[in-house]
Each structure stands twice: as C-alpha cells, then as structure tokens.
Amino acid sequence: MISQKMQEAINAQINEELFSSYLYLSMSAFFEDMSLTGFANWMRIQAQEEQFHAMKFFDYLSERGGRVELLAIEKPEKNWPDIVTVFEETYKHEQHITAKINELVSIAADEKDYASGNFLQWYVGEQVEEEAAASEILEQIKFLGENKHGILMLDREFKSRTFQPPVEA
C-alpha cells in the first residue's frame, strides 16, 4: 500500500503531465494557425507523449493500491510572439517537470518507498531526453533566425514524427 504523501504527490504529477499535454496541444493549434503543419505535428506527438506519461503514473498508482484523483487542468497559453518563444517555453517547461520528478524521487526516499523510487527512474531518464530534444530544436531555430526557407525545411522534417510508446514501459 502506498503512503498518503506519495499518493498525493503522484496525483499532483498526473495533473502536471496532463497540463503538459494540454500546453503542447495548444502550441500545436498555434502552429496549425500559422500553417506550419510539421511543427503542429511535432507538438501533437509531444502532447500524446505527455498523455502517456500521465497514464503511466495513473496505472502505477492503481497497481500500488492507491486512489487516482483527477484535479482541474489549468488553461494553457494560446498565443506566443514567435517560434523561438514557443520553444523557449517548451524547454523551460521541461526543466520545470524535471524539478517535479526530482521532488518525487526525494519524497520516495523520505518515505522509504523503494518501489516508487525504482518506478521514478524511468521518468528521470525520460526527462534527460525531453530536455535535450527541446533544447536542440530551440538552438536550431535560433540559428535559423529569419531564414524562412530553413524554417520550412524543419517544418517538413517534423511532419514525419510519430508517436511510439516506449517498449520497456
């Protein structure tokens, strides 16, 4: 049986993951509106990944005899001044999520909940990838600057991104 404290922290994290999904879906809608369908696809896949992260916590909490409680999801931003700002916010958001995952790891250690500590390691690894992906795209877009041809090339590349649930999950 999972502790009350760990249960509350996981429920809060489910909300964080669902908000992440909502935020990236809003960014996808922003790009659709700009007719950058590749960027819109990249964000839509990102939203699906976040949904997956949320459901992985959902299933784990249930498996441990805890009770999932869904909290209200905050309304995400709708507009951004430019593409660079979207990816700056994406990168900043992923750093925020990493901090939240690290807090969960600390709670698991405090509670001597070794199963949760082990489970959370998947997210620790995942956050390294999430931050690296956001940071790499941010740097590419900064490099391209006003180069519209380059942005369209990147947009074409992002059209091919698909969602693949991790096999080991």
Question: Using CB under 6 A, which of 17, 30, 36, 66 touches ligand OFO?
Answer: 17
**Residue number with CB closer to ligand OFO (32 or 131):** 131
- Collapse the DSSP code of 134 into the 3-class scheme (helix H, G, I; strand E, B; otherwise coil) and give the result: helix
**Is residue 89 within 8 Å of residue 80, measured between CB atoms?**
yes
- 97 near ligand OFO (CB under 6 A): yes
Q: First and final CA of the chain: distance in angstroms?
A: 22
Give Rg (Cα) of the chain: 17
- 130 near ligand OFO (CB under 6 A): yes
- 20 near ligand OFO (CB under 6 A): yes
**Residue number with CB closer to ligand OFO (49 or 155):** 49
**Residue number with CB closer to ligand OFO (113 or 130):** 130
CB of 108 to ligand OFO, least distance (A): 17
- 11 near ligand OFO (CB under 6 A): no
Question: Using CB under 6 A, which of 25, 53, 107, 120 touches ligand OFO?
Answer: 53
What's the rounded Cα separation, in Å, for the pair 20 and 117? 22
CB of 12 to ligand OFO, least distance (A): 12
- The residue among 19, 17, 18, 43 whose CA lies nearest residue 29 is 43
Exposed e or buried b per residue across 35-60, where buried means at least 16 C-beta atoms within 10 angstroms of its C-beta: ebbbbbbbbbbbbbbbbbbbebbbeb
Number of residues that bind ligand OFO (CB under 6 A): 7
**Is residue 105 within 8 Å of residue 159, measured between CB atoms?**
no
Question: Which residues, in sequence order, are CB contacts of 148 under 8 Å at separation 6+?
Answer: none
**Residue number with CB closer to ligand OFO (20 or 151):** 20
Q: Which of residues 22-51 bind ligand OFO (CB under 6 A)?
A: 50
Q: Which residues of the shown chain bind ligand OFO in the complex (CB under 6 A)?
A: 17, 20, 50, 53, 94, 97, 130
